[in-house]
Chains A and B, each alone.
Chain A
Amino acid sequence: MRLLASHGGAGRGWRRAGAFPLAFLCLLAAFLAAPAAAREAAALAEDEAVEARMVTITQDLRCLVCQNESLAASRADLAMDLRREVREQIKLGKSDQEILDFMVARYGDFVLYRPAFKATTLLLWVGPFLLLLAGVAALALYLRRRSRRVVTTGLTPEEQEQADKLLDLGADENKQ
């Protein structure tokens, strides 16, 4: 199955009715067959160092087909092609930065999960702090205004009398 590589026809394959029982049967079969096939798995990658570096690099790259997945995690066709590309470039001795530049030159800053700090990404980086600053300023303003509005007023003679009475009562109780 070709995963989501077509503009406008997003992932309908998953909802096929009947996929669940089939998957269940496969799972069951896998469990039943497991003890028989318990051998050490062959290494998927021919060169583990290259593979590890490829994964580190692609974890910070966005898959443009499934946009909230990293290039390392995506099973989309394009992601597989780009992982192949990264692998090849590692073998050619390119640095991480050169590989990231290669991606940005083709797909733009959007592929980076950690975009560079520059004029076009300024708002992205600084925006949250601006909002925080605005929030703190608004809070300070509000508190200052409120503290000015709260005026301490003395007690009226009746209230004073009532308070004294209550205090006396308390003092008497304490003596006992």
Chain B
Amino acid sequence: MIRYLLPLLAFILLVAFLAVGLKLNPREVPSPLVDKPAPPFALPQLHQPDAQFAPQDLLGKVWLLNVWASWCVSCRQEHPVLVRLHESGAVPIYGLNYKDQRADALKWLAQFGDPYTLSFVDAEGRVGIDYGVYGVPETYVIDKQGVIRYKQIGPVTQEVLDKTILPLVAKLNA
């Protein structure tokens, strides 16, 4: 009996491995920055280039850092979700405008709505490198101590927001 069961078990094991492998997304590389302090920076703001923004200013607040660009197609997909989130006032969203043209970025916000409390400009993508950004959009949840607690790779969907980000924000605010 075992003679016949053994190959079957081996086959089931193989199928299980392949099934799990199929569901994994190889493009989602887990970030080593989760649970590490958010790298400091100082960048010019999008609307007022003379003024700067530094994440250190937000210590004591839970906030989202959303990496976006006007040339990014998937950003358009997540944009309505962010706009709704902004209107709900659940958590402030700060936008890192990544390797974009200022005029394009401003036009984009005027056209689709501006969900950001503030946007700042990373024209050369250097801050992006410090945050391990390898595509746009990406979203970070940063806690009151300035520690990155979660990284969303790819667009924020309503599902991700409801199941992961908002519960986490509530927990961090508690």
Contacts and interface: CB of A to CB of B under 8 A. Distances in A.
A48 interface: no
B149 interface: no
B132 A7 contact: no
Interface in A6-38: 6-9
Contacts of B126: 81, 85
Interface stretch (A53-61, A104-112, A148-156, A158-166): A104-112
Count class of interface residues, chain B:
20 to 34
A68 B29 CA distance: 14
B135 A5 contact: yes
Contacts of A114: none
Contacts of B74: 6-9
Nearest to A80: B125
Interface in B121-174: 124-126, 128-132, 134-138, 153-155
B66 to A, nearest CB: 13
A118 interface: no
Greatest chain B CB density within 10 A among A9, A65, A85, A107 is at: A107
A64 B129 CA distance: 12
A78 interface: yes
A2 interface: yes
B122 to A, nearest CB: 11
A7 B29 CA distance: 12
Contacts of B75: 6
A77 B31 CA distance: 20
Contacts, number: 70
A6 B72 contact: yes
Contacts of A65: 134-135
Nearest to A107: B132
A108 B32 contact: yes
Given A7-B154, A65-B135, A81-B129, A110 B72 contact: no
Contacts of A64: 29, 134-135
Interface of B: 26-27, 29-33, 71-75, 77, 99, 124-126, 128-132, 134-138, 153-155
12 contacts: A5-B72, A6-B73, A6-B74, A6-B75, A7-B135, A7-B137, A8-B155, A64-B134, A65-B134, A107-B31, A108-B31, A110-B30
Given A8-B74, A8-B155, A108-B30, 10 more contacts: A5-B99, A6-B75, A8-B73, A67-B26, A81-B125, A81-B129, A85-B129, A105-B32, A106-B33, A107-B132
